[in-house]
Amino acid sequence: MLKKFKPSDAYMGRLEKGDDLLKELTNIVHQKKIEAASIKVIGAVQKAKIGYYDQDEFEYKYKEFDQALEIVSCIGNISILEGKPFIHAHIILADKEGNCYGGHLAEGSKVFAAEFVIQTFEGNKLMREFQDDTKLKLW
Ligand code: ZN
């Protein structure tokens, strides 16, 4: 699967302390009606929830961190799931020793500070659909 896009508007912004990282980014994407984009975030969280997709059981296993962590990198894309813009993002988090943890960004990650860039694209929207082999909704 391969589709061509042209870069369009880019947004840069900052989330507020206490925001839920994924929920607030999703609110922004819905408000701005962003349907195709890439997203990048750096900053820090007060706590985090990340997922790991178990490829044998075909389900996400979640891990929660109740501690301050740096957002070393968080990247993702925006496509359409069930008629609405949807953010799929992965995140790498570092503790004070520099140990890193990573996974699929889930709701439940509380922002300490977060700066983001959303690069939107023009072109055919990417529609997420259920895939039999992975049991995931992919584009
Ligand atoms: Zn993922």
pLDDT tens column, 54-73: 999 999 999 999 999 999 99
Q: How many other CB atoms sit within 10 Å of the CB of residue 39? A: 22
- Pick from 78, 70, 82, 73: which is nearest to 112 by CA? 70
CA–centroid distance, 105 to ligand 1, in Å, is 7
Residue boundaries of the structural domains of the chain:
10-120
Cβ pair 91, 71 in contact under 8 A: yes
CA–centroid distance, 102 to ligand 1, in Å, is 11
The pLDDT assigned to 113 comes to: 98
Cβ pair 121, 8 in contact under 8 A: yes
d(CA 13, CA 117): 7
- pTM score: 0.95
Which of the 8 DSSP states describes residue 127? B
**Ligand 1 is a single-atom ion; what residues have CB below 5 A from it?**
104
Range of lowest pLDDT (2-6, 28-32, 34-38, 86-90): 2-6
CA–centroid distance, 88 to ligand 1, in Å, is 6
The pLDDT assigned to 132 comes to: 95
The pLDDT assigned to 36 comes to: 97
Mean pLDDT of 13-28: 98
Query: For the domain 10-120, what is the CATH code?
Result: 3.30.1330.80
Mean pLDDT of 67-81: 98
Residue 8 has pLDDT above 90, yes or no: yes
CA–centroid distance, 74 to ligand 1, in Å, is 11
Residue 1 has pLDDT above 90, yes or no: no
CA–centroid distance, 58 to ligand 1, in Å, is 13
Chain-wide mean pLDDT for the chain? 97
CA–centroid distance, 8 to ligand 1, in Å, is 25
Mean pLDDT of 84-102: 98
